[in-house]
Structure 1
Amino acid sequence: MYFPQFLVGMSATTVVVAIWAYIEASSIWTALGWAILAMVVLQVGYVGLVVRLIVRRSEAEDAGTASVDRTSPLVFRDFY
């Protein structure tokens, strides 16, 4: 998952949640609270996905099926 793509998606989702909350509650503070809650939930989900990628890669290396050149430095191409 690309981080810039995630940021655009998170921003769009947050704006939609804020607008929806404002329409439903007619309160800026309620809309702000829901938007912050949406951002926190999305960030927790993103961190969970990154951790899952790291765990899966380490499990693949343990099984010997990883296609990583052990002579090269760490490659973070999965995290862009």
Structure 2
Amino acid sequence: MRFPKFLIGMLGVLIAFAATTYAMTNSFWTTVTQTVVCAVLIQIGYFGAVLFLVMRENARNAGRRKSLPTDEANLQKPSQPFNTSATKAP
């Protein structure tokens, strides 16, 4: 899910949560406090979901790399980007 879509959804949920909380408690400060806590929990969940997706993709890529045959040409030492006197071998 893209961040702008998530942000619009999160704001909608927080507005509905704040309206419901205020209707139940009739307290502005309780509503603000509980809505901020709700926003933090949503952000933690979003971060956890993104972290899970990244870890799953890394695990898939690791499995693909293990199944590929090793190639001697791919194992050569990479060339240095600059050929200066400091980078040349003695």
- TM-score, length basis structure 2: 0.69
Distance in 1 between residues matched to 2:28 and 2:50, nearest whole Å:
33
Over the matched positions of the two proteins, sequence identity in percent amounts to: 31
Cα offset, 1:2, TM superposition: 0.9
- TM-score, length basis structure 1: 0.77
Number of equivalences: 65
Structure 1 ranges of 4+ moved more than 3 A: none
Runs of 5+ consecutive residues of structure 2 not aligned to the other structure:
66-90
Q: Which amino acid aligns with 1:3?
A: F
Distance in 2 between residues matched to 1:37 and 1:9, nearest whole Å:
17
Cα offset, 1:5, TM superposition: 0.6
Distance in 1 between residues matched to 2:41 and 2:64, nearest whole Å:
35
Cα offset, 1:38, TM superposition: 1.1
Per-residue displacement from partner, 1:14-43 (whole Å, max 9, x unpaired)?
111111111000010011011101101100
- 1:24 matched residue in structure 2: 24
RMSD: 1.1
Q: Which amino acid aligns with 2:38?
A: A
Greater Rg, structure 1 or structure 2? Answer: 2
Runs of 5+ consecutive residues of structure 1 not aligned to the other structure:
66-80
Q: How does 1:37-48 map to 2 (within 5 A)?
A: 37-48=37-48
